[in-house]
Structure 1
């Protein structure tokens, strides 16, 4: 590994200081900073596409939101991502600041393993035309805006009609995203090594409509009712798009994966216990 891409949380002085320490500690490596960090440090600006194409390893300085941004920036490349958490322990940013250099030394020596995380590919079809195609690590969310009215969301799996969710919206989540918005909507926690999708209505009018765990190789299709208004599509909480009645969302497993460098000192279930306060009263 010769080229490191540094992706940091914006307006975080601690991240800028760590970037400077990394350059000082590893002068033999090429360090590329994403645009906001490069501007803060006075480093040469590198476009996102070049950063993604040249990186051998991505080092994230921030939290889970920053890591999701990094995964989107890298696109379909399976570059290992080392997540360094600058706050409390994250679900994906497992390495504490004080353990950064020790962990990075191991990675550079080739002594590391990764979790290969499933992604989803989402397509927005309007009046028979493809309007949008993108990929997510966490979730695809259809949600209402300011108006307090439910909408009709006609859901099918592999062309078989399932139900019409009369609800505030619908979430299609990966196992990684099962501990995010999907969990708040009553969805299950799915271990990230299990490839599947979690389909969950948001505040469904019918209490019997619960989350469904769908095999990863299936195609989930959601068509919005004709009277849909003030409704939005949100991808990984990063980008938003307005939706119209009759719009169709198609969601399936992406052929691309996100490879997260594991912290050998932290287990997945220990993260759950800490983040979700299991066993506490």
Structure 2
């Protein structure tokens, strides 16, 4: 697909990135590309033009350049909806596992994108519905994971878990993670979960510090419907979406997680394959 209009999204509170935004806009306009800025990019470079809500950027752009870190990619992914606009993630500091492209690689990679010579990776989203008293109390999407945890550090939570209508177990743990393959290298990894190849059609369920030796991560086909019932009365329990959105859960609330109909397309690094990313970013396999 030809790229005529490029959206630029910036990590919040990053005023020092103003010159990067300005140089990128000049480079794109030299190649007859229109530019749409999100509010953060416009705030960092007031002379570059007006800022728009991210939903408008998504609606208008043929390509979105995300300047920031993985958190910026996660936030942008939840704004995509049905539009699978390719995302070029540029790491401006930190780990940058999803933002594979370094700043020196930005313009050469963009040149390849404009020539339609780039490699991409399609990542499926997750969808969750919170059901309360038989009705929906909220619907959410995540790229990485949904996490159910309690607030009190000295208490555990009871989470009754059902897959495709079949009872699995009631976890007594600090919490529960339901992750996508993309999210398997995030909180899931720290909690002892497996690394899933990012395009694998699967989901993974990981108890957080379970109060038993036999509860282990559970890998499921991505068509599975996972229902988690909050069974701890009087406890402060929350659902967290991609580590960014917090939802309070009541006793007997059910969180239903399944594959979302939506996906995002990430432009891949021209220099690193997935396993090189694991070794470089996560020091996988080192002794």
Q: Under TM normalisation by the shorter chain, which class is it?
A: over 0.9
Cα offset, 1:89, TM superposition: 5.4
Query: In the alignment, which residue of structure 2 is the partner of 1:56?
Result: 62
Displacement after TM superposition at 1:11 (Å): 2.3
1:41 maps to 45
Distance across 2 between alignment mates of 1:279 and 1:213? 22
- Matched with 1:245 is 251
Q: Is the 8 A contact 2:231 2:252 kept in 1?
A: yes
Contact 2:122 2:265 in 1 (8 A): yes
Q: Over aligned residues, Cα RMSD in angstroms?
A: 1.4
Deviation at 1:45, TM superposition (A): 2.7
For residues 260 and 14 of structure 1, the distance between their equivalents in structure 2, rounded to whole angstroms, comes to 25
Counterpart pick for 1:208 among 214, 222, 225: 214
| Alpha-carbon separation, structure 2, partners of 1:227 and 1:75 | 35
CA deviations 1:54-106 (Å, max 9, x no partner) are 11111011111111111112233111000111125522111110010000011
* 1:24 has 2:30 as partner: no
Task: Give distance in 1, aligned partners of 2:245 and 2:94.
Answer: 25
> 1:15 Cα deviation (Å)?
2.7
In structure 2, the residue matched to 1:198 is: 204
After superposition, the Cα gap between the structure-2 partners of 1:241 and 1:279, relative to the gap in structure 1 and judged at 3 Å, is closer
Residues 1:104 and 1:89: Cα distance change in structure 2 (over 3 Å) = farther
Name stretches of at least 5 consecutive residues in structure 2 with no aligned partner.
none
Shift of residue 41, structure 1, vs aligned partner: 1.6
Q: Match of 2:5?
A: 3
Unaligned runs of 5+ in 1: none
- Tell me the CA shift for residue 148 of structure 1: 1.9
- Which of the residues 179, 186, 196 maps onto 2:185? 179
Partner secondary structure for residue 78 of structure 2: helix
Partner of 1:72: 78
